[in-house]
Each structure stands twice: as structure tokens, then as C-alpha cells.
Amino acid sequence: MALMTGEQYVESIRNLNLNIYMFGEKISSPVDNPILRPSLNSVKATYDLAQMPEYEDLMTVISPLTGEKINRFSHIHQSTTDLMNKVKMQRLCGQKTASCFQRCVGMDAFNAVYSTTYEIDKKYGTSYHDNFLRLLKYYQENDLTVDGAMTDPKGDRSLAPSKQADPDLYLHVVERREDGIIVRGAKAHQTGICNSHEVIVMPTIAMGPEDKDYAVAFSIPLDAEGIIMIIGRQSCDTRKLEGSEMDVGNSEFGGVEALTIFDNVFVPNDRIFLNGETEFAGMLVERFAGYHRQSYGGCKVGVGDVLIGAAAVAADYNGCAKASHVKDKLIEMTHLNETLFACGIACSAQGNATASGNYMVDLLLANVCKQNVTRYPYEIVRLAEDIAGGLMVTAPSEADLRDPKVGPYVEKYLKGVSNVSTENRLRILRLIENLSLGTAAVGYRTESMHGAGSPQAQRIMISRQGNLAMKKELAKAIAKIKE
């Protein structure tokens, strides 16, 4: 079974015995929970789209491992065309869900682990690459969703992992056994982890020899003993409990994050990809970050397409679509959004093969892409709020609109252009609110700032990759300087 349907995916998650907590209570059925279900639907969409003939070229690919058609989210990039199709696929998924669809981190982890394990084995004669290939084949054959976990809580950022007052603030090996390792710690901000079958765990920073126990990477099923997921709060999240389709803005799709605890979790030897080889921790982090910064040139752009469209609809409904300043704002939003897409495509087109054979993005351009992502969605949101108007945040609830006493007042006084219902006007404003300030703002705004590394992380990489020395030589040559 190389490709699951969306419904088969949902049932496969239902069959897992996941240890999930939210609002101080254990969630008995996360698949049916009204707060969590929209996030599951976003992942489900990646399965549904793969079944549609019109999206086959973007959503699926023939695996060089199995020879079968697989979901592109499980693919190892074989060319720059693969890298570009990845970005195009992510834009499509963003357009269809207007939310985080949660499979990008796992896909990016696959490709970073693939090339890094190859190079570790080459130096040390380990079997990490074979471990990964065996698991990857299993993931592809069963069409599994695998999350990627990199970010540790970190504690005191001025101290190395091994120097923390509490050693568990970075995930680490607490025991090495003949048959595997025991790990303890946590991974923070884990997008979509409660909707995944397995998780690939990676170190979060480059490490020195003294951090050997923290230089660890592995994969484990999410219903393994000792894994606990604590769901994070989102703005307006409890609106999903009120039964209002309109007030949530996007009633079908969403995202979700969790603090994920690894409380003395056993990892068998054949699931380990890094175990103390500290000099390769930085390589794994850098490669994953490069892929994930490329990803933002696709997923955020797709969501941006929806927000730009919503702002344009709001202008129509408000009766101001022909105003020159509104037209100009929509042009600016489009310009910013397409610039992000151009960066995602550029770093893909400039990619090169690694020693293992898979393709890596151009790291300089990938970091430029993500640096722009830390800024442009915020400006797109600002312009959307400008066009939408204050009613976006002051409108009464759907219950008021439906109320026999006050509903007629809402209907009468909140109407825009005469040929559009008040309900439709409020619906589009709630969607803008959702993307700008509500649950979807986690993925579109704050994640744009801090996901795949905060802004300074990209600036450091831009400094490293920018080749300033070469640029100096170019200037000296043109100026006829001889030293």
C-alpha cells in the first residue's frame, strides 16, 4: 500500500495509542476532539490531494527505493526539479488548507538525515545510513506521516547542553545498552506531532566533544512508552468548542503544536542515526535548516494566496475594490508573496547533489528566503487588516446573527454592498481574523518569525555563505587595485 486515502490516514491515527494532554486532561480520542480535528484535516488533505489526477505530478513521485508511487512528502530529492516541485507542492497545500499542513518538517528531516548518515558511516563505518534507508522504505511503503523534532527547550541559552543546571533541558542519552539507548528530555513547538505516526529526533545545535550524550538522532513511533504530548494553546482556540462555523474563520483546517516529553524512552539500535559523533551534529542541523528554510518559500506563500484573496473579497464586499489605494495594497501584497516564492524556487534551482546522491538547496539563497519570510507575511497581514477594516475584530458572534431578537439588527447595520449578504461579509472577515490574529496566526505569523530558526540564525548563515572575500576581489579587480 504505497498511497493511503485521506480516510485511511485518519483511521490509522485513530488506531494509535497516543499519550496527549490538553487543558490539564488526557485526550481520549484526539481524532474526534473539536480543537485537534482541524489540524488532522490539514494533514489528511495531503493524502486527499495525492489521490487527485490533476495534482499527481506535484503530490506524488516514483520512489527510487521501492519503484512504487509514493507521496512526495516521503521522497528523497533526486534533482533540482524535485526541489522545485517540493516548493510548488507546499504552495498548493497552503492554498487548499490556509493553514500549516504539518508534514514539511518530516520531509526535510528525511533529506537531512539521508545525506548526513551517509557521511558519518563513511568516516566511522557505522550503519546509520542503512538504518535510515530501512525505515524510509517502511515509511514509503506504508505512506506514514513522520514528524521532525529539532528544537530543545534550551534553558539558559548562554550555556552548552552539558553545562545546563538541569541536564534534561536538551534531549540526551541517559543510558547506552547493548540493544539500544535510553533518552530523556523534551522537544518544543512540535507542529503536527499528534497527527503523526512516528517522529525523527535530531540535535538542535552544533556540539562539542563534551556534549557527546546530546549528539543523538533517531526515529521512534509516537505511541512508544514514555512519550507524552502536551498541546499548546492558540489564540481563539476554544472558539472551536462553541459550535460556530463562522466565528472560527477556517472551520475545516488548522494547525497544532505540542511540547513533547521523552521520559526515559528506549530506542533500539536499528533506529539510531547519530550517537555521540558530535562533529556531525552541526552538519545535520545546518542541512535540515536549509531544507526547512526553503520550505517556507512554498507553504507560507500558499497561505498568503488565501489571505490576499480574502482581502480582495473583503474590498469587494465593503464596496471599495475600485479605490486606487486598495488596488495598490493588493499589488504590494502580491509582490511580497511572489518574492517569497521566487526565493524558494531560486534556492531549489541552484541546488547541488550531496555525496550521498540526494540534492541539497543552495544554502545562501535558502537563508535569504527565510529571512524574507520573517518580514513579508507581517506586512501582508498589516495590509489585509487595513483593507478589511475594524469590523474584522469588532463584529458580533454568529449566535448574535442568528438570534431572533438582535439578529435583524446585525443583519441591517453590518451590511456592506447591497448584493452581498451580511453573513458572507462576516465570514470573509472572520477568515482574515483567523489568519491575522487567530489560530492560523501561529503558523502564518509567529512561525514565520521563529520557525526553522529565528532571524539571527539566518543572518549568521548569510554571513557564512555570502563569500565576502570573493566580492572584495571582484571590486579590487574592477578598480585596478594591486596589493
237: Cα within 13 Å, side-chain hemisphere: 16
364: Cα within 13 Å, side-chain hemisphere: 7
Only one residue has cell 454568529, namely 398
Candidates 9, 46, 47, 100; catalytic one: 100
Helix (H) or strand (E) run with residue 99 in it: none
Q: Confirm whether 104 is a catalytic residue.
A: yes
User: Quick count: other Cβ atoms within 10 Å of Cβ 48?
Assistant: 17
Candidates 191, 354, 374, 422; catalytic one: 191
Q: Confirm whether 447 is a catalytic residue.
A: yes
Looking only at the bridges linking them, the beta strands covering 227-231 and 180-187 are unpaired
Candidates 60, 80, 104, 317; catalytic one: 104
Helix (H) or strand (E) run with residue 228 in it: strand 227-231
Candidates 299, 343, 347, 369; catalytic one: 299
Q: Which conformational region is residue 67 in: left (phi greater than 0), alpha (psi within -120 to 50 degrees), or beta?
A: left
Candidates 114, 128, 296, 444; catalytic one: 296
Q: Confirm whether 292 is a catalytic residue.
A: yes
Q: Confirm whether 343 is a catalytic residue.
A: no
Q: Confirm whether 47 is a catalytic residue.
A: no
Cell digits for 336? 511580497
Q: Confirm whether 299 is a catalytic residue.
A: yes
Using CA atoms, how far apart are residues 86 and 73, in angstroms rounded to an integer?
Answer: 8
Q: Confirm whether 236 is a catalytic residue.
A: no
Q: Confirm whether 21 is a catalytic residue.
A: no
Candidates 170, 292, 398, 439; catalytic one: 292
How many angstroms separate the Cα of 196 from the Cα of each of 59, 101, 231?
18, 11, 14
Cell digits for 407? 439578529
Cell digits for 393? 475584530
Tell me 167's DSSP state: G
* Active site residue ranges: 100, 104, 191, 257, 292, 296, 299, 447
